[in-house]
Amino acid sequence: MFLLETTPDTSGYMILGYSVFFITMTIYIASLYIRNRNLKRDLEMLESIQAEEAKPKKKK
């Protein structure tokens, strides 16, 4: 390649490179968002369970 007199057309590799970058970043940011959402759900559920347990039990 380095012996060629004209600049080679390597634009396909450039597009591939930037696609890999943006796709990987999108996947990682999505994973942060999904983990955050799931943990918030877990937290709400655990807090509601604890609140239920903390309530004094009514006598029949």
Partner 1 sequence: MQPRPIALKILDFVSVILLAISTYLALFFAPTELVMGEVQRVFYFHIGTAWVGLLGFVIAAIAGIAYLVTKNMLWDRFELAAVEVSTVFFFITIALGSIWARPAWNTWWTWDPRLTTAAITELIYVAYFMLRQGIEEPEKRARFGAVYTLLGGISAPITFMVIRLFRSIHPVVIGAANASQEKMSMTSDMKTAFFFALFAFTVIFIDMIWHRLRLSSLEEKVEQLKLNSLM
The residues that touch partner 1, with contacts defined as CB under 8 A, are 1-2, 7-11, 13-14, 16-18, 20-21, 24-25, 28, 32, 35-36, 39-40, 42-43, 46-47, 49-50, 53
Minimum gap (Å) between residue 57 Cβ and partner 1: 17
| Rounded least distance, CB 15 to partner 1, Å | 8
Assigned token pair, 43: 């937290």
User: Could you give the CA distance from residue 55 to residue 21 in angstroms, rounded to a whole number?
Assistant: 51
- Alpha carbon 11 to its chain's center: 29
Write the CB contacts of 8 (distance below 8 Å, at least 6 apart in sequence): 1
Choose between 32 and 57: whose C-beta lies nearer to partner 1.
32
